[in-house]
Amino acid sequence: MKKAVWKGIVCVVVFLATMITVSALMNKGNTDMTVEMRRATFPLVYMSQNGNRVNCLHGYAQEMQGSTMRDHITPLESGRRLSFVVEKFGCEISHLSFEVRSVDGERLVESTDIYNYKEDDDELTATITVKDLIEENTEYNLILILEDEYGRLIRYYTRIIQASDYHAAEQLAFAKEFHEKTFDKEAAKSITKYLESNAEGDNSSFSHVDIHSSFQQITWGDLKVEKASEPIYTIRELGPTVANIEISYQAAVEEGGARKYYNVEEYYRIRYTEERMYLLDFKRDMNRIFTKDAEAFVNNKIFLGIHDADVEMVESDGGNVLAFVNENRLFSYSIIDNKFVYLFGFYDEDNSDERTLYKGGGIKILSVDETENVRFLVYGYMNRGFHEGQVGIQVYQYNSMTNTIEEEVFIPDNRSYQMVKADVEQLSYADNNNHLYVMLSGTVYEISLESKSYKPIIKDLKEDSYKVSDSNRMIAWKQGEKDKEGALTLLNLSSKKQTEIKGKYGTVMSPLGFMEEDLIYGIANVADIQRDSGGKVIVPMYEICIQNENDEILKRYHQEGIYVVGADIQDNQISLTRVSRDEDGQYSPVDDDQIMNNEEIVSGNNTIELAVTEEFENVVQIALKSNIEKKGMKLLTPKEVLFEGGREVRIEPEETNTVHFYVYGMRDIEGIYTDAGNAVTHAEEIAGVVTNDHGAYVWRAGNRSIRNQIMKIQGEPADEERGSLAVCLDTILAYEGVKRNTSYMLGHGSTALEILRNNLPDAQVLELSGCSLNAVLYYVNRDIPVLATLNDGEAVLIVGFNELNTVLMDPGNGEVYKKGINDSKEWFEENGNSFITYIR
């Protein structure tokens, strides 16, 4: 009997031990089962323009959110024809088709199979004709769907437009000619008329060159440079007169008798006129691709060469181990073990083509410890590997003992890599308890790297309502509506400690930023908040506080009669923008002031530094705390651990009514806003574009006609029953085919913004206070009137413009008349640049 009992107990113990072991293996992976990263298998697609390849399309393994897919735009040729080339890379294609959809991806315009094409071992070429179902000068999404021999559906996205009066071919030819001539100083003399060389140009580094740089700088100085790959031409934006074009390629530079390779991107903003081309902007970025040869290590330096000085580097607490990112590849170095590891990258000597070199994402280092383990995050488009063709966020752990990397979690996303990049750059942090924190579309999520579960912890964050420390460990956000009463919440993501910072009744608190992990915030009276002459909201803070993570107030700044309206935090100094208030309650600028942190900020044991050379100008290097022994250095490349089961965490977005506006620069998203006016102002500063949640244009730089007037809008006078604001609102609604008694609505408490939003359901109404007159003329150019409200309660409509004047409909006199453009600008600024308009 006893033997039977013991036998049963032993069986149970063995069974439990086996289950625990199996569970551990399935959960953690088996380090005895490792592989190299899978090679890229997806084909590439190039659009064809007049026989030239443009717009390299990368394949996606899932359906993407069409409104976010803005990598490039392809103009259709005459007859709505579009030609393309598929580089197969050994992939057997069994079927081809394409879809045409609205830019938001919701409306299917056409779905057509492709049977007529030519194919050889390397390429497939075809020409398709889009059906006569698209509107002229309107952008659509084209999705080319390729099915391979294994039944995989691979999707390729580009925007298309049918526009007979656009000039993409001429603008591409101009960019190509300019690009070619920069390699020949004699030929380049003809491009000097397009340059704006002046003191704004930084001629100290070849890493960043622009239209303001010197002729010598733009033509590569004394570098022995040549192209090492065929350039890829990408049409980023295209309008009636202005195009944004990118040229990317690899260059080789002779350094000490050896060829070193660089990634180069050139950006052109070109205006076409019948008389000539105008180069509105030019930028060139050049970054050396790090190679772990002997010349890279000199004394205590890791040499990066001509490179952007903003190198991501993280070191362990003792500074004995560091990791750094170079051109989308991750490396680590252990000073004590003299071990250099190539941790991760999609390209290497055996995997180097346009698929693996594609910069559709990035790498962020999450942590480095003294045992040489590194946790890092790969985000954006996955060029190859298990998740080839997907967009998302992938967390890896490097195990120094086994020299392996292991995926901990993969968070798929159906938005573009630019959207994911913008979120990751806002907040991404991993604590010591295997939790990842990441911001996605204004919500901060906590993801368990062990259980693969997630939960939202902060919802609906808006610009200017939150700040994150450089380490991403601390976040502070404002509760309640912007510029209204409310407390601040300070959260330490490492310790989970959450502190509520409350002000007295009638005050508003604004987070200004962090100095290391210390929060800087300001306190203002709600009654003091107003708009300045340009329409910008001023929050005059009468006190500035610095509070550490232990809830201790380190400093209070207050000067009687002086208010702080902005703060710039650099290292251990806070520069305060200040104003004073006059008897009329208006604010006027006074001299800036500074708050200094007497404690020196520790820069780390290992630092990024610049060195000046004669031939290469400024170069970048990592200065280590001790010398490198090159002879005994161990060079390693880890393999990836295989695992069973899924490590995918699919996050369902939080439902929100918040409207977002996306500001795009030359390539990436430069800002995400909930305030349309802030978005348009930012886009005007960088000559960019603004889109909404549906992918539609909200605002675009350039491409404005010399003159335009909405002739359907005629003068109409105000009277005792209808004030000027009601007349303007009635006129806008009537122009859009809607008849309402807005005077009655205003009398019962409705605002102009509410009236337009409630009665123009198919339009997006935009409150653009603070935007410039030049910016809002974009809408008048599109035959959309702009409502301007004045300080005295009156209103006018902007209905036209030319080079010298605006055209106004003024209910005060019932007339449509011209007003000088400079006088108009000054008048609207004096009245707060208070504008309301809409897009259809």
End-to-end CA distance of the chain: 85
Sign of CA dihedral 521, 522, 527, 530: negative
Low-confidence ranges of the chain (pLDDT < 50): 1-28
- DSSP 8-class letter at 67: G
pLDDT at 4: 42
Bridge partners (DSSP) listed for residue 268: 245, 282
Looking at residue 598, its pLDDT comes to 74
Contact (CB, 8 A) for 364 and 428: yes
pLDDT tens-digit readout, 425-455: 999 999 999 999 999 999 999 999 999 999 9
State residue 538's pLDDT score. 84
What is the C-alpha to C-alpha distance for residues 839 and 176, in angstroms, rounded to an integer?
A: 35
Cα–Cα distance, 56 to 484 (Å, whole number): 48
User: What per-residue confidence (pLDDT) applies to 480?
Assistant: 67
Reduced to 3 states, what is the DSSP secondary structure of residue 679? helix
> Which residues are bridge partners to 160 per DSSP?
74, 140
Of the candidates 75, 65, 143, the one whose C-alpha atom is nearest the C-alpha of residue 109 is: 143
- DSSP bridge partners of 246: 234, 267
Name which of 551, 472, 461 is nearest 514 in CA terms.
472
Taking a C-beta distance cutoff of 8 angstroms, is the pair 303, 608 a contact?
no
Q: What angle do CA 320, 321, 326 make, to 5 degrees?
A: 140
Q: Alpha-carbon distance 132 to 109, whole Å?
A: 10
**pLDDT attached to residue 723:** 93
In 10 A of CB 470, how many CB atoms? 12
- Report the 10 Å Cβ neighbour count for 279: 18
Structure-block tokens of residue 449: 């790297």
Secondary structure string (H, E, C) spanning 142-184:
EEEEEEECCCCEEEEEEEEECCCCCCHHHHHHHHHHHHHHCCC
For residue 156, the cross-strand partners are 144
The residue assigned the tokens 């106004």 is 808
- Orientation angle between helical segments 752-759 and 724-735, nearest 10 degrees: 20
Q: What's the number of CA atoms in the CB half-sphere (13 Å) around residue 331?
A: 19
CB-CB contact of 305 with 259 (8 Å): no
Dihedral sign for Cα atoms in the order 287, 292, 293, 297: positive
Q: How far is CA 746 from CA 718, 726, 731, 789, in A?
A: 14, 8, 15, 14
Coil vs helix vs strand at 137:
coil
How far is Cα 29 from Cα 52, in angstroms, rounded to an integer? 47
Amino acid (1-letter code) at residue 813 = N
Question: What is the C-alpha to C-alpha distance for residues 425 and 413, in angstroms, rounded to an integer?
Answer: 16
Q: What is the pLDDT of residue 531?
A: 73
Cα separation, 431 vs 495, in Å, equals 8
pLDDT of residue 297: 94
Tokens of 619: 């170069």
Question: Quick check: 404 and 396 in contact, CB under 8 A?
Answer: no
| CB 514 within 8 Å of CB 811 | no
In the prediction, which pLDDT does 600 show?
A: 64
pTM above threshold 0.85: yes
* Angstrom distance (rounded) from CA 585 to CA 419: 42
Residue 2 CA to residue 6 CA, distance in Å, equals 6
Give DSSP secondary structure letters for 91-119.
PPEEEEEEEEEETTS-SEEEEEEE--EEE
